[in-house]
A and B are shown apart, each in its own frame.
Chain A
């Protein structure tokens, strides 16, 4: 029984990571209707920046904040420099650019920081388990950080004018321009936010899976499964989907298919959702009367 409970809680902890990356995917998807394949690679790059800062002697949380800020700036820069010239191009161009970005960022990470697997520190006490062996310090801490990030993003989009403008720009760019919203910049901000959220996810997962240039590959798949499960056009759905995939993956890995086949669970979810319910569990239904 304790084993099951622990697997469940561990699933929530990794699910939080998937939820963050899923949210990053959905943020860009909502604005552009494309999935950023390079989201995971960008997060890995950010995590290496954090490691470099920590190794340079900065306190963990200073490095954390700096990494988030730098990742945000890099996200904005990628949109301005790489995506903007192709904004009116057909879908295939975007797919090409995303794959190019994936390869470039991935290889750049290896080239700059090395291909060897590295240990990434956790800011949360990792010795022993809390609550009678149910949860490790890092699981608890990373879940709290993840939830805090998700809450912040939610509050930003719901309750600030800039967040409202970003949503408006994603839904209806033409009308947004008519009320004076600089739509291009909203898109860039979206990329920045997605990169920042991805960076947090990377830093939270790295102590568990260890850091190397391909760290996020599998995680991106789970996150994509989560986003699809919840509905790729629904941020809340993506978050719920991310948590659900985390728990499912952990339970299936422990009791059904074994750890070696865990990734298959993600693929099975992706295919299952696409076949049974392509809009996902919470796919947005827009009421409209004409």
Chain B
């Protein structure tokens, strides 16, 4: 069976500058794949490339179907939800409106309302903040809102860009605990970008290590976690 997401020789860049130099990676159905690497390795760019936010070369397949070269909104409509770098919150709108926008492509209001409840089950705090302007939420709450917005798309594939960024350790733990539940309950594949390698390797089944736009190590997350030399030279812990 084909993987949920497959990238083959994926290249991308900004203007004249190439950032990704031909990446091959995959996310299995219901699997979690982590992209690790230092600042500037091309992790965020990889996520942006997958969902068509920048010009790319090579092939990207979602459940066997080519999605590269398509517009971001069309890729989203095929079931790819991206929690972007900076969380992508609609600051001027309320929490409710942000969530409604997450479900924008879904016509069935009853199903969406049921999913609202499901999301409140994961993040009860969003229920309390429901009518509040999203810009006034704390960083952790905004991250929860961003994940909720992505889930409300009913995605097949979730792209998560540094969900731990700028958050207190306790909040990070809370969010990752909920992401484990989401992974089990929602049957969604996840492509995770994370600076916190230890956290990411605990969560993922597959991991790829990026260095200046190339994959230098790849394999099962557990193996990479055990590999002393990889840990010392690339992950720094």
Q: Which A positions have Cβ atoms within 8 angstroms of B?
A: 161, 164-165, 167-168, 171-172, 174-183, 284, 286-290
Contact = CB atoms under 8 A, between A and B. Distances in A.
7 contacts: A164-B101, A167-B93, A168-B101, A171-B93, A176-B101, A179-B104, A288-B135
B48 to A, nearest CB: 10
B72 A178 contact: yes
A287 B101 contact: no
B143 to A, nearest CB: 13
Interface stretch (B81-89, B177-185, B197-205, B210-218): B81-89
A181 B104 contact: yes
Nearest to B73: A177
B145 to A, nearest CB: 11
A180 B91 contact: no
A286 B91 contact: yes
Nearest to B149: A179
A290 B53 contact: no
Contacts of B72: 177-178
B115 interface: no
A181 B73 contact: yes
B104 A171 contact: no
Contacts of B149: 179
Contact of B91 (A161, A164, A288): A288
A3 B23 CA distance: 78
B64 to A, nearest CB: 21
Contact of A172 (B76, B77, B88, B136): B88
B91 A165 contact: no
B163 interface: no
A289 B137 contact: yes
B92 A284 contact: yes
B101 A174 contact: no
B153 interface: yes
Contacts of A167: 92-93
B119 to A, nearest CB: 14
Interface in B14-53: 51, 53
Given A174-B84, A175-B84, 8 more contacts: A164-B97, A165-B104, A167-B92, A174-B88, A179-B104, A179-B149, A288-B136, A289-B137
A176 B104 CA distance: 10
- Size class of the B contact interface (CB-based, 8 Å): 20 to 34
A176 B76 CA distance: 10
Contact of A175 (B88, B105, B137): B88
Contacts of A171: 90-93
Nearest to A182: B73
Interface in B119-155: 133, 135-139, 149, 153
A178 B155 CA distance: 11
Interface centre among A161, A172, A180, A287 (most CB of B within 10 A): A180
Nearest to A289: B136
A290 B73 contact: no
A183 B76 CA distance: 13
Contact of A179 (B135, B138, B153): B153
Contact of B89 (A175, A182, A287): A175
Given A171-B92, A287-B133, A288-B91, A178 B100 contact: no
Contacts of B136: 287-289
A172 B71 contact: no
Contacts of B84: 174-175, 178
B189 interface: no
Nearest to A185: B73
Q: Closest 9 CB pairs between A and B?
A: A175-B88, A177-B72, A180-B76, A180-B105, A288-B135, A180-B77, A177-B73, A178-B82, A287-B136
A182 B53 CA distance: 14
A284 B91 CA distance: 12
Contacts of A172: 88, 90-91
A290 to B, nearest CB: 7
Contacts of B82: 178
Contacts of A164: 93, 97, 100-101, 104
A172 B104 CA distance: 15
A178 B81 contact: yes
A179 B92 CA distance: 16
A168 B93 contact: yes
Given A175-B90, A290-B139, A180 B100 contact: no
